[in-house]
Amino acid sequence: MTTEQTAAVGSGTREQAPDLGRNLIYLCGFYPSISEVCRQIGINRQQFNKYTSGAVMPSLFVLKRIADFFGLEVEEICLPHDNLRAIFQIRSNAAPAEVSVGSRLLDDIGMFSQEFSEPLDKYEGYYYRYYYAYDLSGRVVRSLFRLSKSDGFYVTRHIERIFHPSSAGKHKTAFKYRGFATGLSNCIFVLEFESLMKSCIAHAVFPIVPRPGQRYLFGLQTSLSTTHGRPAASRVVLERIRPNIAVRKMLARCGTFEPNSPELEPDLLQLISNENLREDAVVMPRII
């Protein structure tokens, strides 16, 4: 990279260093977290995320601070990604196999979450999430799900309020999940983990079928029955909640219900039913 090109990097044109964001994600993979890197450099995390997503180019002064932290020159940190990896592996005296597995995985997650993700902005908001309880009680769970955007990532929050077996059906236990979502191949993919007891990682996928006034998203999910200690899969439906409703009122409507409860619409029960036609080899979402 020439002196003129280096100067242009700080001018805000992404084309001068198209692999910079990918390089930063790769380099951060050698540290406990991106937040830790930002703290050590002394840079705002939200601003740093704009650099990793490629939305904004850092000034030459900031870029030099970042490069110095990683032990690189400005010209090196802006190199094509494969060239940067080769240089950094040599300088860190790390075996290529040790570097490639973990760091490449973090690199790929970052790219799928930001660079390759299809826009999900119009799907941001609160939803009721419906599915049959994994405790084999035959009851239907209505939980609260939120999709939002933070620091360039689509993030999710999911709260269940379920009667715990130890309370003999008298008290509801809250299970809270945090996760991230990405749009790919006309689907919304969600990966989330139970954040209180660290007891479960769940996955869900919702095909995107755009319709005017869309109310439902239909999908499949996998999770773990904490009662039986076994993984399970089920159909799941997201029902969009109209704006301007207080969160506490949304949560008050969450819980578990008998299928014949007036709280549940008959059409909804058909959409989350896990019955399968005998000739079907796999379970697929029901879409209306």
Instruction: Write the pLDDT tens digit of every residue in 227-247.
Output: 667 888 999 999 999 888 999
Rounded to the nearest angstrom, the gap between the alpha carbon of residue 22 and the centroid of all alpha carbons in its chain is 18
Domain range annotation of the chain: 3-115, 121-272
Q: Is the dihedral of CA 54, 57, 61, 67 positive or negative?
A: positive
Strands 255-257, 216-225: pairing kind: unpaired
CATH number of the structural domain 121-272? 2.40.128
Instruction: Write the pLDDT tens digit of every residue in 85-121.
Output: 887 777 665 444 444 455 566 666 666 666 556 789 9
Using DSSP's 3-state secondary structure scheme, residue 171 falls into coil
Q: What pLDDT shows up at residue 108?
A: 65
In sequence order, the 6+-apart residues with CB closer than 8 A to the CB of 66 are: 24, 41, 43, 51, 58, 77
What is the mean pLDDT of each successive set of 10 residues along the chain, which is 288 residues long? 46 66 90 88 90 89 91 89 82 50 62 69 94 89 94 89 63 85 91 84 90 86 77 94 91 93 91 82 79
Pair 68, 61: CB distance under 8 Å: no
Phi, psi of 225 (to 5 degrees): -80, 110
In sequence order, the 6+-apart residues with CB closer than 8 A to the CB of 3 are: none
Specify the DSSP element, H or E, that contains 46.
helix 45-53
Q: How far is CA 212 from CA 6, 118, 206, 215, 236, in A?
A: 48, 19, 17, 9, 21
